Amino acid sequence: MKKSIKLFLLLISVMIPLSFFSGCGSGGTNTASGGKDSSDGEKIVIKVGHVLPDTHPYHIGLQRLQEILEEKHPGAIQLDLFPNSTMGGERDMLEGMQLGTMDAAIVSTASLSNFSDQFRIFDLPFLLPTYEKAYEVLDGEIGQTLLSTLPEQGFVGIAYWENGFRHITNDKANIYLPTDLPKAFKIRTMENEIQMQTFISLGANAIPMAWSEVYTALQQGTIDGQENPLPVICSSKIQEVNHYITMTGHFYAPAPIVFSKKTWDSFPEDIQTLLRESIEETRTYQREVSRSSEGELAAQLESEGCFVVRAEDVDKDAWRAALQPIYDAYQDSIGVDLVQEILDVVNA
């Protein structure tokens, strides 16, 4: 091959990567996934994804986190936020983090339990009855021990933010009791075995689906209903396609902030400490934003013509009794000791 062509190809193979990095990290910034550090005083840019709209408490929490990072260490870290599944669904983002092509994301533990078995504990229905008990378990030894299982899967979990108590919506019938589920009821669930079996055990047709596909599937009647906390329902305008809401609170969904271990390990210790402290500090604020909105969102849904069965009008004992078979089926594989440990906290 002529010398000049060889020289040309060599130049090309050097220029392309250089131009890529210069594009992403322009103006003295480092992309976290570029594996550089801040000891040279350059800003670290971290891409953080999630599947919900930028009006959801996930996103509001991340914006507050950016402020706190800036207050604590001006110019050190810039969070590039990617809402609305722009970086893919929760499974995609978790796989991207294992590969090192994705820096960080907020995900429900229901997605994480496909990568780390022990997180399936939070998929047991009606396990955590109140916010207080949920925080006690998550922020205490049990929750932290579960996070410590993540590095061997290629993740670093920092703290549990909140998705919240999940409720059922549908467009077929008003639901009070498990026996009110319409015949052949097609309900979307997260891509999670125990959550699917929970609804299958009640006679429904559970259809796992990434969040980004749900609105259209409801609109087209591919599914009849779905289940999520009110901030997800309202920020994603589910009330436009589902008008019956039953506040069952059947799952409390924690939402940990998870980093790619590759990205996390590329940070110098001071940056890791800054991130950990700031994420833990923002946790209280994010939970408050998520939790405090529940009351007014229920009223908003009613004002928009939805029929809302409030939590106090739901016979939780009837749902718990109907779902006991899920405990019987899964507590051994999850770990009877872990289930008992949590029930001890809950019943204390």
Binding site for ligand EAX (CB under 6 A): 51-52, 90, 107-108, 163, 190, 211, 228, 232, 255
**Cβ at position 105, least distance to ligand EAX in Å:** 9
**Cβ at position 186, least distance to ligand EAX in Å:** 16
Q: Please identify, using beta-carbon distances, which residue of 112 and 323 lies nearer to ligand EAX.
A: 112
**Cβ at position 234, least distance to ligand EAX in Å:** 13
**Cβ at position 10, least distance to ligand EAX in Å:** 46
Calpha distance 141→22 (Å, rounded): 43
**Cβ at position 100, least distance to ligand EAX in Å:** 22
Calpha distance 281→303 (Å, rounded): 35
Q: Please identify, using beta-carbon distances, which residue of 44 and 164 lies nearer to ligand EAX.
A: 164
**Residue 121 burial (C-beta neighbours within 10 Å; 0-12, 13-18, 19+):** buried
Cα 2 to Cα 5, 94, 179, 297: the distances in Å are: 5, 46, 78, 70
Single-letter residue type at 270: D
Calpha distance 75→71 (Å, rounded): 9
What is the CA 99 to chain-centroid distance, rounded? 19
Calpha distance 134→162 (Å, rounded): 10
DSSP class of 312: G
**Cβ at position 109, least distance to ligand EAX in Å:** 9
Q: Please identify, using beta-carbon distances, which residue of 38 and 250 lies nearer to ligand EAX.
A: 250
- The DSSP bridge pattern shows strands 252-260 and 186-189 to be unpaired
Calpha distance 168→176 (Å, rounded): 10
Single-letter residue type at 51: V
Length of the chain: 348
Calpha distance 178→58 (Å, rounded): 30
Q: Please identify, using beta-carbon distances, which residue of 167 and 262 lies nearer to ligand EAX.
A: 167
Q: Please identify, using beta-carbon distances, which residue of 52 and 206 lies nearer to ligand EAX.
A: 52
**Cβ at position 164, least distance to ligand EAX in Å:** 9
Q: Please identify, using beta-carbon distances, which residue of 51 and 323 lies nearer to ligand EAX.
A: 51
Q: Please identify, using beta-carbon distances, which residue of 135 and 211 lies nearer to ligand EAX.
A: 211
